[in-house]
Amino acid sequence: MKFVNTHQAKSQLSRILHEVEQGEEYVVARGGKPVARLVPYNAGIKPPQPDKWQGSVFIAEDFDEVDDQITGLFENPPL
């Protein structure tokens, strides 16, 4: 990972972007404090699909019901 200040980033943006395309990562700093990170854009990453598991997961209707025996073990653990 390489560090550049904002002035360097502005004056050398084309070269920096070329290096980023080749896999290099840059941190851009202002006043010595990091403010941004330049990394290669990966268009192959697919956004999350909320319905991906639809039809594959089953949740029992009594899922939220309390089991008295288990509750009792928490309230009065065996010695």
pLDDT of residue 10: 96
Q: List pLDDT tens digits, range 12-55.
A: 999 999 999 999 999 999 999 999 999 998 867 788 888 888 88
Of 13, 3, 10, 1, which is closest to residue 34 (Cα–Cα)? 3
pLDDT of residue 73: 92
Provide mean pLDDT across the span 62-68. Answer: 91
pLDDT of residue 78: 86
Q: How many CB atoms lie within 10 A of CB 16?
A: 19
The helix, strand and coil proportions of the chain, stated in percent and rounded to the nearest 5, come to 30, 20, 50
Q: Which helix (H) or strand (E) holds 16?
A: helix 13-21
Going along the chain from its start, the domains and CATH numbers come out as 2-38 (3.40.1620.10)
pLDDT of residue 5: 96
pLDDT of residue 32: 93
